[in-house]
Structure 1
Amino acid sequence: MILRNLFTVGTFTAFLFAGSAFLHENQITKISTDVSSGNNGFAVLELFTSEGCSSCPPADELMGQLEEKYKDQPVYILSYHVDYWNRLGWKDRFSSAENSQRQQLYSRTLRSQTYTPQLVVNGTTGFVGSDRKATEHAIESVLLDSKNTDINLSATVSSKTISVTYKTTEADPQSKLLISLVEKKSSTQVSGGENEGHYLKHYQIVHKQEQIPLKDHPEGTTDFKLPENFSIKNWEIIAFIQNIKTGKISGAAKTEIQ
């Protein structure tokens, strides 16, 4: 496996964005009832990937397999498509500068290079995203050892927005609640770059992420713009609490479509 390291991280660009907090009227469809993350172990898997990287499809496929394998356990998978591959022949429609900036944060806290595919588990352990053995070992370890700080979530859909209501007892001034709008599955026929001619499948794609300081907002509501061609069964909300200094994730939860 050849890791694809396209650049060296220079000046760190702040990636933490304050989440909006407001309620919408005319909410018409319920995504989920209140969901509590409970107090057992959990695993948050963050994959940094790109449609322009020939080493990434195996990692993307592994995320789909793990999502199925651990579907009844507190394992939360988020795939961030980075944008720095876009200049090499193919623009990844799921990519964003915010996703690349998030990976840069991990390059700093983990003291690692920036490469794809990279997988980070619970904010503290990073390795090659297509390494099944390392990934499953990391999952099993944190499911046994970690303690999940309670997060309660609910979400509703209106004609234009998805509104997420959250509440947690976490009050650490160094912690933020990261709430992500996630598309469970999609695919692309690639016609340029390293994966030209390939039909790629993607899983647990992060489309937007709001980041809320818990010191000032331990409970509230944040909104996402309703995506185009939205299908309620193919989307979910994943939230987790992260220490912005150390990167450690202390709790996670998600809302499922009812």
Structure 2
Amino acid sequence: MNLRRRTLLALVLAAGVCRPCVAADPDPSKRMVLVELYTSQGCDMCPTAEEILGKLAAQDSRIVPVAFHVDYFNTPWRDVFSDPLYSRRQATYNEVYAGPKPESYGLYYTPMLMIDGERSVNGRDPAAAVAAIRAARSKPPGVRLDVDLDLAADELSGKVKIRVTRRSARVGKAPLLVCAVLREDGVATDVPSGENAGKTLVARFPARRTEYDDVELKDDLPAAKEFAFTIDPSWKRDKLRLAVFVQDKRTAAVHQAVDLPWKPAAPATGSPAASGR
């Protein structure tokens, strides 16, 4: 659905006892692909796109799915997952995107899929999404990501420690965005008004919490960031996953992503647990 035109916000891409969960590149030469869906419970075309995102994730363990619910369709129904941060993120894609985009509304619409920050496709076009994911997956990752998640004993809070190491000269010395997104999959919401009035919508991988910051890689030395997360006790912990990705702030190209569950790691038997579902 196209946005009823609004003023674009041109912002730079944003900037107890613990038990560890560890994620490292299972094979640093292989790329994980970030698949972002820009969606809204106020858009009658979005439920189809949510289903497609779920199917893509089920079919391909090397994608990292995230649904960012925008806030510009929050009348009359206010999307329970919406956040102006996600609308600003989409607006920034509209500003920096180098590929073709609709003339009248650009990339500021729902449902929209963004593949690794470089390829935008309509969220209801699974064939185009698969082709874009395949193309993104063929590229070597620009950075290596190592992620440690330390959970409190009650698993209601945790700290994520991220280490970023350059793997390709093309990453250069440009500032990078490091982002961690906590999602809860399969959340059902009864929607009483708006374009989806009377429906029960099942959200696939909606962002619950998002933290981000900038890093710069100097020479071949790794850069580190740490974020803290606190969850709502009502969230289903077995459905929570943490997505971590590194992105070029100037071009929005994603250099690598990692996906790990919100739970302590199993007892170590060798290498750190690999990311993936």
**Structure 1: runs of 5 or more not aligned:** 18-25
Instruction: Write out per-residue CA displacement over residues 10-37 of structure 1, whole angstroms, 9 at most, x where no aligned residue.
Output: 34134413xxxxxxxx14444x224226
SS at match of 1:193: coil
Shift of 1:4: 2.3
SS in 1 for 2:204: strand
Tell me, yes or no, if the aligned pair for 1:56 and 1:116 is still in contact at 8 Å.
yes
Q: Which residue of 2 aligns with 1:246?
A: 251
Q: What SS does the corresponding residue of 1:152 show, helix, strand or coil?
A: strand
- How far is the alpha carbon of 1:138 from its aligned partner? 0.8
The 10-residue stretch of structure 1 (57-66 or 223-232) with the greater mean CA deviation from structure 2: 223-232
Per-residue CA deviation, residues 169-208 of structure 1 (Å, 9 max, x unaligned), is: 1473321211111112211111100000111111111122
Inter-partner Cα distance in structure 2 for 1:36 and 1:146: 12
| Paired position in structure 2 for 1:118 | 112
Query: What are the ranges of 5 or more consecutive residues in structure 2 without an aligned counterpart?
Result: 167-171, 266-277
Contact residue 13 and residue 249 of structure 2 kept, 8 A: no
Distance 1:97 1:46 in 2: 16
Structural RMSD (CA):
2.0
Secondary structure of 2:88 counterpart: helix
Give matches, 1:57-136, under 5 Å.
57-71=47-61, 74-87=62-75, 89-110=76-97, 112=101, 113=106, 114-136=108-130
Q: Shift of residue 124 of structure 1? A: 1.0
On the 8 A contact 2:2/2:110 being kept in 1, the answer is yes
Q: Secondary structure at the match of 1:220?
A: strand
Contact preservation (8 Å) 2:23, 2:258: no
Q: Report the equivalent of 1:200.
A: 201
Task: Quote the Cα distance in structure 1 between the aligned partners of 2:233 and 2:203.
Answer: 17
What is residue 4 of structure 2 aligned with on the other side? 6
What amino acid is aligned across from residue 36 of structure 1 in structure 2? Answer: D
1:191 corresponds to 2:179: no
Instruction: Please tell me whether the aligned partners of residues 154 and 255 of structure 1 are also in contact (alpha carbons under 8 angstroms).
Output: no
Distance 1:228 1:135 in 2: 34
Aligned-residue offset at 1:50: 0.3
Moved more, 34-43 or 75-84: 34-43
Q: What TM-score, normalized to structure 2? A: 0.81
The 1-side partners of 2:125 and 2:66 are apart by 16
- Rounded Cα–Cα distance in structure 1 between residues aligned with 2:9 and 2:236: 39
What is the TM-score when the length of structure 1 is the normalising length?
0.87
Residue 39 of structure 2 is matched in structure 1 by 49
Name the structure 2 match of 1:161: 157
User: Aligned partners of 1:176, 1:207: CA distance in 2, in Å?
Assistant: 19
Residues 9, 104 of structure 1: 8 Å contact kept:
no
Residues 149, 252 of structure 1: 8 Å contact kept: no
Q: Which residue of 1 aligns with 2:227?
A: 222
Secondary structure at the residue paired with 1:169?
Answer: strand
Choose 178-187 or 190-199, whichever is displaced more: 178-187
Alignment of 1:35 with 2:36, yes or no, is no
Contact 1:42 1:148 in 2 (8 A): no
* Equivalent pair of 2:184/2:236 in contact (CA under 8 Å): no
Deviation at 1:149, TM superposition (A): 2.1
- The percent identity for this pair of structures is 21
